[in-house]
Amino acid sequence: MSIQDSIAVVPDAAPIDDVEEAEGTLTGKEKVAYGFGDLGNGFMFDLGQAYLTKFWIDTAGIGPAVVALIFVLVKLFDAVMDTVAALFIDGRKVGKRGKFRPVMMVSAFVLAVMTVVTFTMPDVSMGWKIAFAAGSYAIWGGVYSFVNGPYGSLASVMTRNIKERAQLATSRQAGSLGAQWICGIAFIPIMMMLGGMTAQNYMWAAVAMSVLGMVSFVLCYRGTKEHVVVNREANKEKTGIKDYARAVLTNRPLLGLVLMSLFTISSMNVNNMMMIFFAEFNLGNIALMAVLNFVMIGASIVGIMFIPKLVVRFGKKRTVMVSFAIAVAANGLNFIIPTNLWTFMILVTIGYVALSIPNGITWAFVSDTIDYGEWHTGVRREGMTYAAFSFSRKVSQSLAALVGAGMLAVSGYVAQAAEQSDATLLGIKAVMTLYPALALTIAAIIIYFIYNMSDDKYRRIAKDLNEGRWEHGVIGESTRASLAVK
């Protein structure tokens, strides 16, 4: 009987108990330590997503349309850098400190420096300001690829246990939201304590966040290990672009995840980017941003703690679908209802919590698609698989910048003005509420029809991989020959 025959005897609807699953191996310390990695990421990545637009437009004086163009072009460049980072990471040998952790740690130090540089603006002509903003942010993005790629891939070699992967996803999302929460309630107050939202104070506030980010990455590096033993015999042979393309393009779950993330990540980024504008102009008090972030992100941190239980009870895909429905309803109502602090805060909190849960589960999806790719092709490509997913995140960030900064440009936003026109206020509100409602509707359709890997199917795949098998044979023996025929 062939390997494929032996898999087919277990139907998709098989009860969970009928499928053997990899045993859990992670300690509580490792699960928490993994989350510190995205806490570090957030202090540097989410900081830029939330405040660079405001910094460049109001402090540096760069026009909104130019800011949108910078974001779009740089993020596309970052997507190319993700591929470069993936080639480097996949080509590395496993050392005594693992395959991914050393690259992550060294790159994180450089990222901390570049985070401060992006929030620095020399006193030069406007053309040079634009060049400095674009150049420093492009370098920042290139370095970030060498941080986030190995960090994201790390989870796939920590465990294959579904519950533990959900716990790692929860820990990661908690770290990301924790950084958003701290930045959201502390970044502007730090500047106010230093004397106001000047270019120099933006830089010092960025220094404070970057130091916290570095400490977080050190804790992640020291507290995690790569437990899963991977058969990399097939990886030793010389590979080319076709091998990488095959590994990515034949991975249907990855395709679904990539397309879904275009809309989920852009929705969250638009929310974070425009909150400072909404608080200052639609609500009339920029200080309310800290209050809104305290409630909205704080509630999300509590909400994502239920991810492991929701995944075990309902499965990843069903949990994601229900969460999307709630987020769409909350954001849609928030657009329709006249602007009011209390209704806005309640609905934006519900919508953000409902979006944070799928974004948390996404990290478990990523690890699953890495394993699916190995099982389907016989060659494990963590770096390239994660790079494909990361590409969708970079494009989604470009989309968020295009929607957010682009709306400011077309609606007549006036930098440093005390008030904005009714058209601008409506545009800010539409981007904050209506765009997520529409985008998450599309995301729900994508995940429902394209992502075709149930938790039970993954358990069977994990069982094969633990036994050294892929879809058509034994890993390392006939992998290359089989792929050549396909």
Topology of domain 237-474 in CATH is Growth Hormone; Chain: A; (1.20.1250)
CATH domain 27-235 topology: Growth Hormone; Chain: A; (1.20.1250)
Give pLDDT, residue 485: 46
Each domain of the chain, given as residue ranges in start order, spans 27-235, 237-474
Q: What is the pLDDT of residue 8?
A: 33
Q: Is 47 a residue whose pLDDT tops 50?
A: yes
Given a cut of 50, whether residue 12 has pLDDT beyond it is no
pLDDT of 201 > 60? The answer is yes
Non-local CB neighbours of 370 within 8 Å, separated by 6+ positions: 153, 156, 380, 381, 382, 385, 386
Residue 474 backbone phi and psi in degrees, to 5? -100, 130
Question: From CA 327, how far away is CA 324, in angstroms rounded?
Answer: 5
Please state which of the ranges 117-126, 243-252, 431-440, 455-464 shows the lowest mean pLDDT.
Answer: 243-252
Assigned token pair, 269: 């980024």
Asked if residue 135 lies in contact with residue 88, where contact means CB atoms within 8 angstroms, the answer is no
Residue 462: which H helix or E strand, with range? helix 455-466
436 close to 334: Cβ distance less than 8 angstroms: no
Question: How confident is residue 242, by pLDDT bands cut at 50, 70 and 90?
Answer: low
Using alpha carbons only, give the angle 67, 390, 24 rounded to the nearest 5 degrees: 140
User: Which two structure tokens, joined as six digits, stand for 84?
Assistant: 């470069």
Which has more pLDDT, 93 or 208? 208
Residue 210 clears pLDDT 90, i.e. is over it: yes
Both tokens assigned to 266: 């852009």
pLDDT score recorded for residue 235:
53
pLDDT, one tens digit per residue, over 155-166 is: 888 888 878 888
93-124 tens-digit pLDDT: 776 778 889 999 999 999 999 999 999 999 99
283-300 burial, b if ≥16 CB within 10 A, otherwise e? beebebbbbbbebbbbbb
3-state helix, strand, coil in the chain (%, to 5): 80, 0, 20
Q: What percent of the chain has pLDDT over 90?
A: 45
Nearest to 57 by CA among 417, 442, 451, 393: 417
Q: Mean per-residue pLDDT for 196-207? A: 92
Question: What angle (nearest 5°) sits at the alpha carbon of residue 248, between those of residues 245 and 251?
Answer: 135
CA–CA gap between residue 60 and residue 77 (Å, rounded)? 23
**CA separation for the pair 415, 204 (Å, rounded):** 22
* pLDDT tens for each residue of 358-400: 988 987 888 888 889 888 888 777 777 777 777 787 788 788 8
Task: Give the angle 251-99-242 at the CA atoms, nearest 5°.
Answer: 35
Residue 122 burial class via C-beta count within 10 angstroms: exposed 0-12, middle 13-18, buried 19 and up: exposed
Mean pLDDT in residue range 237-247: 59
* pLDDT confidence tier of residue 13, bands split at 50, 70 and 90: very low
Report for 90-94, 229-233, 285-289: range of highest mean pLDDT: 285-289
Please name the residues in contact with 459: beta carbons below 8 A apart, sequence gap of 6 or more: 16, 19, 20, 21, 162
| Same fold flag, 27-235 and 237-474 | yes
Per the prediction, the chain carries an average pLDDT of 85
Query: DSSP per residue over 117-175, as a string?
Result: HHT---S--HHHHHHHHHHHHHHHHHHHHHHHHHHHHHGGGT---HHHHHHHHHHHHHH
380 near 232, Cβ under 8 Å?
yes
3-state secondary structure at position 473 = strand
Identify the pLDDT of residue 6.
32
> What Rg do the C-alpha atoms of the chain give, in angstroms?
22
Tell me which DSSP letter residue 469 carries: E
